């Protein structure tokens, strides 16, 4: 999808009006690089008139080498021979005059045609979004969040959603949803290089509420046999089949979890109001920064948020350096519904927690690179973006 870059909000709005649905905007070239790091569906970058010319040339040069399927369109207040020459040499596809919305629209259409031609017909199909739910500490309600978020996203079948239990040693998704799967990700071990929909489909278990589940292995010893390559191929295959793939990760940075986080489009960080958890989350965020994982795509969810324990939400934001996007209060109803095998979103749709889960799901659906807008798929064998933009292995 198209991405507009310009620090001026007014300019951004004008340029976005020339974009097809699903266009995104960022304020700087640095934010742009964070955004495209794991997104090969971005087929064109529109650099606004307030982006410094030298920065624009550097972006075009980088994308020309690392992301040849992503076109760069430069918008300038005025265009002369020198600008055109240097722009073309850097790898810019087109240069258009500021204020000419029709020219911008036409350039974007040509960029999409080129993208389809370079990737082939399989590269123009729809791809889903991967949403990882992560916390470095167990017992914070991560699985409860994953299950309720996935159900909220499914919304009675409005969207196709798959919930993946990637806590490979002690996953609780199946028991939380009172499912008794006959197959799990363990049954795909050894099929890393042949994995496709025909192999994956029989491994999924259907939940009554418009949701498919890929369960964790029944025994913890299978964890070491589930390779990072299998995790990566599995998530990419599911991406081709579902609008959203929600991944309940393990509470640590093992290779399987790192692989899942490396593939993710959005990451929900779950924390609770206790000092050990906040310390671990702080360290985890610093680790994710160092590994360039989900930069600018993290969402902090505060669970069991009862300020009577002496730590306020504002204090949490100060400690973690992140804004809280969802706040789930302590509630016996949530625990009771979990124990009954009927998550709160289903058991009590009007419960305050249910409303928050649905609001969070809606915010993720409304993200500009949501598959509800036009998007493009990544073939299973293709790397997600250039290595320059990825975590180093």
pLDDT score for 78: 87
Same domain, 153 and 175: yes
Give the residue from 35, 32, 134 showing the smallest Cα distance to 73: 32
Q: What pLDDT digit, counting tens, does each position of 182-231 carry?
A: 999 999 998 888 888 778 888 999 887 678 999 999 898 889 899 999 99
Owning domain of residue 350: 129-375
Residue 385 lies in a domain: no
CA angle 221, 166, 176 (to 5 degrees): 95
- Taking the C-alpha atoms of residue 61 and residue 71, their distance in angstroms, rounded to an integer, is 11
Question: Residue 176: its pLDDT value, please?
Answer: 92
Q: What 3-state class would DSSP assign to 355? A: helix
Among 213, 211, 189, 209, CA closest to 199: 189
Q: Which of 124, 151, 169 is the last residue of a domain?
A: 124
For residue 222, give both structure tokens: 């299978």
Q: Is residue 165 part of a domain?
A: yes
Containing H/E element for 265?
none
- pLDDT of residue 85 exceeding 60, the answer is yes
Q: Which residue has the tokens 């909000």?
A: 9
Same domain, 242 and 288: yes
Kindly state whether residues 112 and 240 are assigned to the same domain.
no
* Residue after which a domain boundary falls, among 72, 97, 124: 124
User: What is the CATH classification number for the domain harbouring 110?
Assistant: 3.40.50.2300
Handedness of CA 139, 145, 150, 155 (dihedral sign): positive
- Specify whether the CB–CB gap between 114 and 93 falls below 8 A: yes
Q: What's the pLDDT score for residue 40?
A: 61
Cβ atoms of residues 267 and 297 within 8 Å: yes
14 within some domain = yes
Tokens 């976005």: give the residue. Answer: 16
Residue 77, token pair as written in the block: 């207040």
pLDDT level of residue 375 (50, 70, 90 thresholds): very low
Q: In the predicted model, is pLDDT for residue 371 greater than 70?
A: no
Same domain, 226 and 168: yes
Please tell me which residue, 16 or 362, carries the higher pLDDT value: 362
- Whether 24 shows a pLDDT value over 80: the answer reads no
Q: Are 226 and 370 contained in the same domain?
A: yes
In contact, 154 and 161? CB cutoff 8 Å:
yes
In a domain, 80, yes or no: yes
- Please answer whether residues 133 and 146 qualify as being in contact, where contact means their C-beta atoms are separated by less than 8 angstroms: yes
Q: How confident is the model at residue 351 (pLDDT cuts 50, 70, 90)?
A: very high
Q: Which residue has the tokens 């491994």?
A: 203
Q: Are residues 11 and 101 in the same domain?
A: yes
Q: Are residues 44 and 184 in the same domain?
A: no
pLDDT score, position 116? 72
DSSP character for 141? S
What does DSSP say about strands 298-303 and 266-272: parallel, antiparallel, or unpaired? parallel
Q: Does residue 135 contact residue 269 with C-beta atoms inside 8 Å?
A: yes
315-327: average pLDDT: 92
Residue keyed to tokens 């690089």:
33
Claim to verify: residue 16 and residue 119 sit in the same structural domain: yes
The pLDDT-based confidence of 31 (bands split at 50, 70, 90) is: confident
pLDDT above 70 for 321: yes
Q: Can you give the pLDDT at residue 119?
A: 65
- Convert the pLDDT of each residue in 326-350 to its tens digit: 999 989 999 999 898 899 999 999 9
The CATH number of the domain where 248 resides is what? 3.40.50.300
Same domain, 280 and 206: yes
Task: Tell whether 213 and 239 lie within a shared domain.
Answer: yes
Is 344 within the bounds of a domain? Answer: yes
Would you say residue 290 lies in a domain?
yes
Residue 391 resides in a domain: no
Q: Are residues 110 and 161 in the same domain?
A: no
Q: What domain count does the chain have?
A: 2
Tell me which of 96-110, 262-276, 302-316, 330-344 is least confident. Answer: 302-316
> Could you report the per-residue pLDDT of 124-137, keeping only the tens digit for each?
455 789 999 999 99
**Closest alpha carbon to 91 in 106, 112, 109, 71:** 71
Average pLDDT over the chain reads: 84
What pLDDT does 381 receive? 35
The pLDDT value recorded for residue 344 is: 95
Q: Do 159 and 100 have their domain in common?
A: no
Q: pTM of whole model > 0.75?
A: no
Name the pLDDT band for 365 (thresholds 50, 70, 90): confident
Residue 50 forms part of a structural domain: yes
Evaluate if residue 387 carries a pLDDT over 90.
Answer: no
> Looking at 124, 155, 170, which one is the last position of a domain?
124
The stretch 159-169 carries a mean pLDDT of 93
């Amino acid at each position: 999808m198209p991405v507009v870059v310009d620090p001026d909000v007014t300019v951004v709005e004008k340029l976005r009006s020339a974009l097809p649905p699903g266009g995104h905007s960022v304020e700087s070239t640095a934010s742009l690089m964070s955004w495209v790091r794991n997104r090969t569906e971005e087929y064109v970058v529109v650099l606004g008139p307030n982006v410094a010319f030298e920065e624009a040339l550097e972006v075009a040069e980088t994308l020309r080498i690392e992301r040849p399927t992503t076109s760069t369109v430069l918008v300038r207040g005025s265009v002369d021979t020198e600008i055109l020459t240097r722009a073309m040499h850097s790898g810019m596809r087109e240069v258009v005059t500021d204020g000419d919305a029709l020219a911008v629209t036409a350039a974007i259409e040509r960029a999409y045609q080129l993208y389809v031609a370079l990737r082939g017909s399989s590269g123009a199909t729809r791809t889903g979004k991967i949403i990882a739910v992560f916390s470095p500490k167990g017992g914070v309600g991560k699985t409860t969040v994953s299950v309720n978020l996935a159900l909220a996203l499914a919304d009675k079948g409005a969207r196709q959603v798959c919930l993946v239990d990637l806590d490979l040693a002690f996953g609780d998704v199946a028991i939380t949803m009172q499912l008794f799967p006959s197959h799990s990700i363990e049954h795909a071990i050894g099929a890393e290089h042949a994995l496709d929909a025909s192999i994956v489909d029989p491994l999924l278990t259907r939940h009554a509420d418009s949701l498919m589940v890929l369960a964790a292995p029944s025994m913890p010893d299978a964890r070491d046999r589930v390779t990072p390559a299998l995790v990566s191929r599995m998530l990419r295959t599911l991406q081709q089949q579902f609008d959203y793939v929600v991944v309940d990760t393990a509470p640590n940075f093992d290779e399987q979890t790192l692989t899942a986080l490396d593939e993710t489009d959005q990451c929900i960080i779950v924390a609770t109001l206790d000092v050990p958890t906040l310390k671990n989350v702080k360290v985890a965020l610093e680790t994710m920064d160092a590994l360039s994982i989900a930069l600018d795509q993290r969402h902090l969810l505060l669970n069991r948020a009862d300020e009577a324990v002496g730590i306020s939400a504002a204090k949490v934001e100060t400690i973690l350096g992140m804004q809280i996007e969802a706040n789930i209060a302590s509630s016996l109803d949530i625990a009771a519904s979990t124990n009954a095998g009927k998550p709160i979103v289903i058991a009590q749709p009007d419960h305050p927690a249910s409303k928050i889960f649905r609001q969070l799901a809606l915010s993720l659906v409304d993200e500009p690179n949501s598959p509800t807008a036009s998007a493009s798929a990544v073939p299973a064998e293709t790397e997600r973006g250039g290595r320059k933009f990825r975590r180093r292995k």
